[in-house]
Structure 1
Amino acid sequence: MQRKIPEALNLHKQSQLLELKYGAEEAYQLSSEMLRVHSPSAEVRGHGKPVLQTGKKQVQVTSIEMVGHYAIKIHFNDGHDSGIYDWGYLYDLCRNQEKYWETYLEKLHLAGESREPDAEVVKLMLS
């Protein structure tokens, strides 16, 4: 994983997008939902057995704090705050977010789960 340090981080509260700038030519936006469902925490990564995060469509970032000179810690309004997002991981999320998002949506579909909070997916068997 490439370790590239962002020159600027801007959280847009209304749109819930975290903007990361890597020089004049490279800028990305990550949604709060993307950051939450791909948290590098043990709660999400599951000590080698990832735990699918469901119902996080409305999740919001409440605050961001620096962790030394190598990472940030993001606090979410659902109480999650244990993920440490180092610079390499954030850059990887930025560069591969489309692929990661598609994989996440496929996992939700296969599990019969939803991005919507308090939603239950019901499969109808029509004969």
Structure 2
Amino acid sequence: MAGLNKHSPTPEDITVHSQSRVLEVLFSDGQRFRIPFELMRVYSPSAEVQGHGPGQETLQTGKRDVTIEGLAPVGNYAVQPTFSDGHDSGLFSWDYLYFLGSQEAKLWAEYNARLQTAGLDRDQSMIAASGKACGGH
């Protein structure tokens, strides 16, 4: 069961590193993650990216150079980044940030496998990628 409980690690410090394009998060359990902006963007928990159910995800491309232009707190449980491509509808809960940080290698591997299956390149623009991905439907 996902969601915060009293044992979930919470951030003690969050730093946006614009030059290296990573969000550094120090959690209460001592874990420190440097989560790439690109990873956050391609795994944004928003409906725009995740869809409204399994199999409805939109594969994100062309996000290598995305930056975070703003980071707004949402209550005591999440942050809402504004990315340089205009995407700002993802709420990143503490648990989700921890998941991204702790599973980074696995998530990159899954992302690259999805790109390869779709015949796409991670640096393709979304416009070119959407035309290619939807060509046979």
Q: Same fold (TM over 0.5)?
A: yes
> Are 2:94 and 1:87 equivalent residues in the alignment?
yes
Partner Cα distance (1:24, 1:96) in 2: 16
**4+ aligned runs moved over 3 Å, structure 1:** 117-121
| Long gaps (5+) in structure 1 | 122-127
Of the structure 1 ranges 22-31 and 39-48, higher mean CA displacement relative to structure 2 is found in 22-31
Partner Cα distance (1:52, 1:74) in 2: 19
Of residues 56, 59, 62, the one that matches 1:52 is 59
| Long gaps (5+) in structure 2 | 130-137
TM-score normalised by L of structure 1: 0.88
2:17 corresponding residue in structure 1: 12
Instruction: Provide Cα deviations, 1:4-50, integer angstroms capped at 9, x if missing partner.
Output: 21100001111111001024842110011000000000000011121
How is 1:25-104 mapped onto 2 (pairs within 5 angstroms)?
25-48=30-53, 49-104=56-111
SS at match of 1:21: strand
1:111 corresponding residue in structure 2: 118
